[in-house]
Amino acid sequence: MAQANKKKQNHKIDDLSLVINCQNGDLEALNTLLLKYQDRIYSVIYRICLNPDDAAELTQDTFVKVIEKIGDFKLRSTFYTWLYRIAVNLTLNFIKRRASIGFKSIDEALKICDNDSVKTLKSYLNDQGDFDPVKIASQHETRELIYAAISKLEEQHKIVILLREIEALSYSDISEILNVEIGTVKSRVFRARANLREILKEALA
């Protein structure tokens, strides 16, 4: 545990040093930051818009915005929460501008699930314990089904599920990214999990 905390602390210090160097005109430090986070940012954007071409373009737009605004970053939050906030906001604005986004349907996702996967998933959904989407997204077949179901959630629930369950961000980080109270984040995650469970149960009925 101590080693994990030390690693996390070093991670933050590294980012802080890189950001300060960026603000002093160090292009190599800026390039290091962009390379460090480009895959994670692409991943979270893709899971929101579910279109690889749009995700690639939005990732590029995110880093253009970072380059433009890095001098204004006040170091009051971690770099990656600031970066995620930019990425999520750009993606949400994009989705609002384009009402129809191509999602893989649940029916399509079900076609690649074998009978054993479906039985296991049904059993898990009928369990009255805590619902953890990550546990049932460990295999490719069920992972595609989970993402298809997530795409059916309303936007604010979809975002918190992706950030909390898939990206494994803390409630505090999500609060900063979305600029809402931690209590609101927790409430949205709770409702999102419940709605996601119902969507999956209905699809598998």
The tens digit of pLDDT for each residue in 143-181 reads: 677 777 887 888 889 888 888 877 778 899 888 888 899
What does pTM read for this prediction? Answer: 0.63
Predicted confidence band of residue 101 (pLDDT cuts 50, 70, 90): very low
Q: Report the sign of the C-alpha dihedral through residues 129, 134, 137, 143, in that order.
A: positive
- Kindly report the average pLDDT of the chain as a whole number: 78
CA distance 158 to 184: 14
Domains of the chain, start order:
2-97 (1.10.1740.10), 106-204 (1.10.10.10)
CA distances from 42 to 45, 50, 157, 163, 173 (A): 5, 11, 20, 13, 18
Where residue 100 falls among pLDDT bands split at 50, 70, 90?
Answer: very low
What end-to-end distance do the CA atoms of the chain give, in Å? 42
Question: What whole-number distance in Å separates Cα of residue 32 and Cα of residue 4?
Answer: 23
CA separation, residue 161 to residues 8, 17, 20, 26, 75 (Å): 23, 31, 32, 36, 27
pLDDT > 90 in the chain, percent: 19
Residue type, 114: D
Mean pLDDT (whole number) for 87-109: 68
The pLDDT assigned to 36 comes to 92
